[in-house]
Structure 1
């Protein structure tokens, strides 16, 4: 299913366009808060902001299953976005009144609200379409994020020629307001797809699912999260080390770095449009691990490249591969029923934040003296982890004691199915 066909539906158009604007606003906010943190409090405050926003994701992901379960309705998420709008527009005022501590407190609160909003929305959106359309919808939601990552900084840069940095907070608040309206609209209409009887205000069925139980019953997902953690840890290599690599190994400057980022972003859009048209695989882990292994190999190639043209080629290939990773895992998680889907998406967000924060903290010190060697070693480790995880999980899935029941293109085990409808699960006797 093409993006245009999806966007002909009012509900999909509402949430897709609202989230596109919201993510654009997030780019405005990120630029504004980092710049003001540097101006008012110095470079240490920039790192403190990133930590303050990331820690709530880890804590809520680990201990907030019940909270997330209660908040997983469109009407509640509209309230969350309304609170975020107020905090964002008040950020400059609160900063002036309370200094850096007040700024960090607001940043942490916004991080906590995002930790509630992001996985909850990702868990609700798949029920807006039928089961066979979920991969296309996951790809569409991934696409608006990629568009915003490219357009957001560019639009913010243009806007700063005419307005002060603090005006970007107001722009972000406006995008939150649009998101609130879209979420309230979704809360007021009834879904017509067979996948969901209603997207109106309701309490999610069943109890909050156990992450430990779900991961134990789905070894493929457990392996995917391990590979995801390794991949996002080493993603700090291109995020931080690429400028060092270009300067030390090639002698290139900021313009070359900008070219690499542009090529990567454009290739990511092309990769998204390609990945969204490929049917989901029954053995999703193979595709997921191969994509991460290829990303690791491209890191190795980038570290060994001695010319800017080669770096651009490898950057384009890496950007093309990245959507296959996010869409493959996203479609697999979307195939699970509520409340298992919400819990698994929360685990994924927790893994992403934890691994990404750890990578940003550790990688700079490891590659400062030898960035090329860091790319090569990190890429080799990532590729090895991806292929090893896939091989181990294939062995586990061929073991009758760990095999799960397959439903369609996803591994939905019998225990999860029974827990969703409130029936007890009795362990079958071993043969």
Structure 2
């Protein structure tokens, strides 16, 4: 497996291990933020507000290419993770179960979201520098594996940790993972500086106008649009799966946990299958959009299938299928973006980030009303919407040719 070959590089190995730990910490942080707010307020709507507040910086900074580009170096990312560690470690010291504690949590979640919105696209821009051009797709698959591992391990580790520590103390663990990540990124910054690489010598990446770039790269713009629709539609599963399982199958938290575990396990298996496929069949720039849209179209059918499933076994199978397809979509798109020059790659990652978070927030705000009215029909409608969008993208993929620069 080429994952193992990539990990023989010390730089890749250090970054991958630290990012895996950091993503796992993020899962713990998300759980802690939700449960701390729920226990203090007893309000589900305020839990949703926490999720929406965290997404706001991703949406706002999507149009601030110059600001985001100022952090396009390893050492800059190390400082961002140092700040995230400080914020996460401060919350248990400042927290109180009252209105002030809720306001404080919102403020710190907003700050962590801002730091994350600056960090994520720059990391995606810098990772291809660690590998050769023919290893970029495999590297995308390797770093996608971090979220798949966190999805499998995070559920169980969170449950075990909550037997030993409080929800607020999970922020301390998250802060420590950010500190480890910051140390790894600082080490990478020193290593690249010693090599006097071009990436270390240059300043912030120049800003690229998003509108012009998307007009030129229509295939990439299509993929971003399909991704946004996918995240909007997927919100129906986030808010609708628990009531669907209760109403149709009489399942409680155990059944919901089983469905989440099935999705996570499918994601892990999908990542490994995608990695093996890339070993024998590298990402084809001519056909990448068709593969991307086809995977989302099948995911739409699986989402609609959840709305009509009459057995719990069918729900678990559909969750596994959905999980299998997520890495195909993520890795295919990231491998395509890696073909762009760093300034354009950063701009496209930022735009995709903005569109994805805006669509996700819209779905979280609008779809609960549909779920309350008709849970099963909501899944069918959301799945049909995703299938239509992905099929339209698949059709466009066959009618447009790639342009220089990766489109």
Fold conserved between structures, TM > 0.5: yes
SS of the aligned residue for 2:55 comes to helix
Contact 2:290/2:393 (CA < 8 Å) preserved in 1? Answer: no
Which residue of structure 2 aligns with residue 47 of structure 1?
48
Distance (whole Å) between structure 2 residues aligned to residue 107 and residue 201 of structure 1: 34
Are 1:171 and 2:170 an aligned pair? no
SS of the aligned residue for 1:190 comes to helix
Normalized per residue, which structure has more helix?
A: 2
Deviations 1:92-136, CA, capped at 9 Å, x for gaps: 333339432222112111111110011111111111111110111
Which residue of structure 2 aligns with residue 5 of structure 1?
5
The partner residue of 2:187 within 185, 189, 203 is 185
**More deviation in 288-297 or 84-93?**
84-93
1:5-154 alignment runs, 5 A limit: 5-43=5-43, 44-62=45-63, 64-96=64-96, 98-154=100-156
Which residue of structure 1 aligns with residue 217 of structure 2?
218
Instruction: From the superposition, tell whether residues 192 and 270 of structure 1 become closer, same or farther in structure 2 (CA, over 3 Å).
Output: farther
> Per-residue deviation at 1:393?
4.8
Contact 2:37/2:46 (CA < 8 Å) preserved in 1? Answer: yes
Instruction: From the superposition, tell whether residues 394 and 219 of structure 1 become closer, same or farther in structure 2 (CA, over 3 Å).
Output: farther
Deviations 1:134-160, CA, capped at 9 Å, x for gaps: 111101111011111221232122112
| Structure 2 residues not aligned, in runs of 5+ | none
> Per-residue deviation at 1:45?
2.8
1:296-375 alignment runs, 5 A limit: 296-375=300-379
Contact 1:80/1:113 (CA < 8 Å) preserved in 2? Answer: yes
Are 1:266 and 2:265 an aligned pair? yes
Contact 2:308/2:380 (CA < 8 Å) preserved in 1? Answer: yes
Distance (whole Å) between structure 1 residues aligned to residue 236 and residue 371 of structure 2: 8
Contact 1:27/1:152 (CA < 8 Å) preserved in 2? Answer: yes
**More deviation in 275-284 or 118-127?**
275-284
Distance (whole Å) between structure 2 residues aligned to residue 386 and residue 21 of structure 1: 33
Which residue of structure 1 aligns with residue 254 of structure 2?
255
Instruction: From the superposition, tell whether residues 177 and 162 of structure 1 become closer, same or farther in structure 2 (CA, over 3 Å).
Output: same
- Normalization by structure 2: what TM-score? 0.93
**More deviation in 8-17 or 383-392?**
383-392
> Per-residue deviation at 1:277?
2.8
- Normalization by structure 1: what TM-score? 0.88
Contact 1:219/1:393 (CA < 8 Å) preserved in 2? Answer: no
Contact 1:224/1:289 (CA < 8 Å) preserved in 2? Answer: yes
> Per-residue deviation at 1:198?
4.7
SS of the aligned residue for 1:317 comes to helix
Which residue of structure 2 aligns with residue 419 of structure 1?
none
Distance (whole Å) between structure 2 residues aligned to residue 110 and residue 201 of structure 1: 29
> Per-residue deviation at 1:201?
6.1
Aligned CA RMSD, in angstroms, stands at 2.0
> Per-residue deviation at 1:247?
2.2
Number of residue pairs matched by the alignment: 399
Distance (whole Å) between structure 2 residues aligned to residue 145 and residue 191 of structure 1: 29
Deviations 1:148-181, CA, capped at 9 Å, x for gaps: 1221232122112122222211111111111111
Are 1:281 and 2:280 an aligned pair? no
**More deviation in 114-123 or 93-102?**
93-102
Distance (whole Å) between structure 2 residues aligned to residue 192 and residue 310 of structure 1: 55
> Per-residue deviation at 1:276?
2.1
Instruction: From the superposition, tell whether residues 257 and 103 of structure 1 become closer, same or farther in structure 2 (CA, over 3 Å).
Output: closer
Structure number, greater radius of gyration: 1
Contact 1:122/1:345 (CA < 8 Å) preserved in 2? Answer: yes
> Per-residue deviation at 1:378?
1.4
Distance (whole Å) between structure 2 residues aligned to residue 133 and residue 85 of structure 1: 31
Instruction: From the superposition, tell whether residues 13 and 192 of structure 1 become closer, same or farther in structure 2 (CA, over 3 Å).
Output: farther
**More deviation in 339-348 or 145-154?**
145-154
Which residue of structure 2 aligns with residue 427 of structure 1?
none
Contact 2:266/2:324 (CA < 8 Å) preserved in 1? Answer: yes
| Structure 1 residues not aligned, in runs of 5+ | 412-431
Contact 2:290/2:397 (CA < 8 Å) preserved in 1? Answer: no
> Per-residue deviation at 1:204?
4.1
